[in-house]
Chain A
Amino acid sequence: DSGVTQTPKHLITATGQRVTLRCSPRSGDLSVYWYQQSLDQGLQFLIQYYNGEERAKGNILERFSAQQFPDLHSELNLSSLELGDSALYFCASSVLAATTDTQYFGPGTRLTVL
């Protein structure tokens, strides 16, 4: 158990809908990362937050947004869902935002868009 929690574990929804994925980092970690794992794209970095502020952005679609709250938990919002958004979404956390920090991954949220 990495100490990173993600809810829900599974999510099934329809095209055009909006969902929110939640992540709680390890105790004491200030940085949160979101990754998407899909069959065709593999594991891709989406976005990073550090202590409430956006720190880095990857291949995140405009339909997707994220935020980190004062208690350091983070939410990834996916809207206008398409079939291709079906994937495993991981959250990872690290102590700071330094590149020396190891990222610890949560168990992931499996999103299925029908």
Chain B
Amino acid sequence: AQTVTQSQPEMSVQEAETVTLSCTYDTSESDYYLFWYKQPPSRQMILVIRQEAYKQQNATENRFSVNFQKAAKSFSLKISDSQLGDAAMYFCAYRSARNYGGSQGNLIFGKGTKLSVKP
């Protein structure tokens, strides 16, 4: 079974600085997708960024970028120029690329990292 581990329960960053959130995962599959979701105090789950395992190029979305290391099974999120609105819980998630089997389609989440942004 696949697992996702976020080893940092809490992180803090100064406004305008850069912070990196860590995520490792365990899988025997070669094809899969990885995601970072943000959950602000409103509790809404918001997709931040997505990475396909077959792509070597790291995904980027504005101030958010990832460092995807497939061999190491590592998927970290870098937030540049941190803003107060970035304060939230961040969840790393895994999704199999298999289109068969009982687990198809579902996301497997880590426990989350709570990010605080200091003004």
Instruction: Indicate if B42 sits at the interface (CB-CB under 8 A).
Output: yes
B47-66 interface bits toward A, Cβ cutoff 8 Å, 1 = contact, 0 = none = 10010000000000000000
**B residues within 8 A CB of A33?**
105-107
**What 1/0 mask marks residues of chain A from 32 to 58 whose CB sits below 8 Å from any chain B CB?**
010100000011110010000001111
Q: In the assembly, what is the distance between CA of A110 and CA of B43, in Å?
A: 10
The answer to whether B111 and A45 have CB atoms under 8 Å apart is no
CA distance A94 to B107 in the complex (A): 12
Report if B109 contacts A (CB, 8 A).
yes
Stretch at the interface among B13-21, B67-75, B90-98: B90-98
CA of A105 to CA of B33, assembled, Å: 17
A interface, over-half SS = strand
Interface string of A70-114 (1 = CB under 8 A from B): 000000000000000000101010100111101111011010000
Q: Quick one: closest B residue to A47, CB to CB?
A: B106
Total interface residues on A, using CB and 8 Å?
A: 28
Q: How far is the CA of A60 from the CA of B109 in the complex (A)?
A: 16
Interface residue ranges, B against A (CB under 8 Å) = 33, 37, 42-47, 50, 91, 95-99, 102-112
Give A contacts to B, CB under 8 Å: 2, 31, 33, 35, 42-45, 48, 55-58, 88, 90, 92, 94, 97-100, 102-105, 107-108, 110
